[in-house]
Amino acid sequence: MDALETRELRYFVAVAEELHFGRAAERLGMAQPPLSRAIQQLERRLGVSLLERNRRGVSLTGAGEVLLHEGRAALDATTAAARRTRRAGGADSPGGPRNRLVLAVKAAGSHELLQKLLDAYAAEHDAAEIEVLLCGICEQEGLLRDGRADVALMHTPFNSLAGFDSEELLTEGQIAILPAGHPLAARKTLSLADVSDVPDLPLARWPRYGTYAPGPGPEIHDQTQLAQLIALGRTVAVVPDSARAWLWAEHTAVPLTDAPPVVTHIAWPAHSRSLALARLVRTATCL
């Protein structure tokens, strides 16, 4: 039983995502016929049919769905291996593994916590160099998985901690951010039901585990966009308390009574064995 080659996985994932051999081939920078053949070989080698070739386009079989999921995970692990090895090698000469960590943080996250963490860690005895990688709303998971980051600050219930090790750092309540002029902005407190049901102010939606939940509200990609939309009176958002730091004059924050608390974790790949990482985690939990 021969193992899958990275190339085959890359090809299959491309086809499975595009559901179209021509487009997938273009994305891969190759011609369509060799791609067709490669997928056929893959199916033959696995002894399993992965794609349903319909008269118009392609669709995934059950096994195809499985390979799409597992293949993505395997590809991420492979590119992570390459990236982390390259980084470890850069400073091989000083002896011992490279003293440098990439920390992924949501750009809109609490500046206060991050600053405290960096300061406390920098004060440690021969601390590693920390490279802060600011990312979008929900990108930390991917960054950790494919090795672009070594450690991340994540926020449940927005991020999923599945597959990572983590430690709890901070718990905070949530607030609603409304356009300053809106009637609800005058209230002392609000409930989730209050803000979910406003006809003229649909609730903003963010990616959760990579996809957007259906709903009438706008899809949020970054914090600036959200702030603008609220200021324009187009939406209302439910966000952690620390978001008060970036409110505009056109915004009003109202505490929510029944929103689930947001917990900030420090998270890292489960199999990590780096000493520098362990020290950073210890610093973080002792803040």
Considering only 74, 120, 185, 192, the residue that binds its own copies (CB under 8 A) is 74
Q: Residue 18 or residue 172: which is nearer to DNA going by CB?
A: 18
Q: Which option in DNA, its own copies, none does residue 193 bind, with CB closer than 5 to 8 A by kind?
A: none
Position 34 contacts DNA (CB under 7 A): yes
Q: Can you tell me the distance from the alpha carbon of 11 to that of 42, in angstroms, rounded to the nearest whole number?
A: 10
Q: Which residue has the tokens 């951010």?
A: 177
Position 21 contacts DNA (CB under 7 A): yes
Position 46 contacts DNA (CB under 7 A): no
Q: In what order do the strands lie in the sheet with 251-255?
A: 237-240, 174-179, 251-255
Segment 76 to 95, residues that bind its own copies, using CB under 8 A: 76-82, 84-86, 88-90, 92, 95
Considering only 6, 9, 16, 41, the residue that binds DNA (CB under 7 A) is 41
Determine the size of the site formed for its own copies (CB under 8 A): 52
Determine the size of the site formed for DNA (CB under 7 A): 22
Position 56 contacts DNA (CB under 7 A): yes
Residue 199 Cβ vs its own copies, minimum distance, rounded to whole Å = 35
Q: Which option in its own copies, DNA, none does residue 88 bind, with CB closer than 5 to 8 A by kind?
A: its own copies
Q: Residue 42 or residue 229: which is nearer to its own copies going by CB?
A: 42
Q: Which residue has the tokens 């409110």?
A: 247
Position 50 contacts DNA (CB under 7 A): no
Say how many CA atoms lie within 13 Å of 8 toward its Cβ.
17
Applying CB under 7 A, which residues contact DNA?
A: 7, 19-22, 29-34, 36-41, 53, 55-58
Applying CB under 8 A, which residues contact its own copies?
A: 1, 3-7, 9-10, 46-50, 61-63, 65-67, 69-71, 73-82, 84-86, 88-90, 92, 95-98, 147, 162-165, 269-271, 273
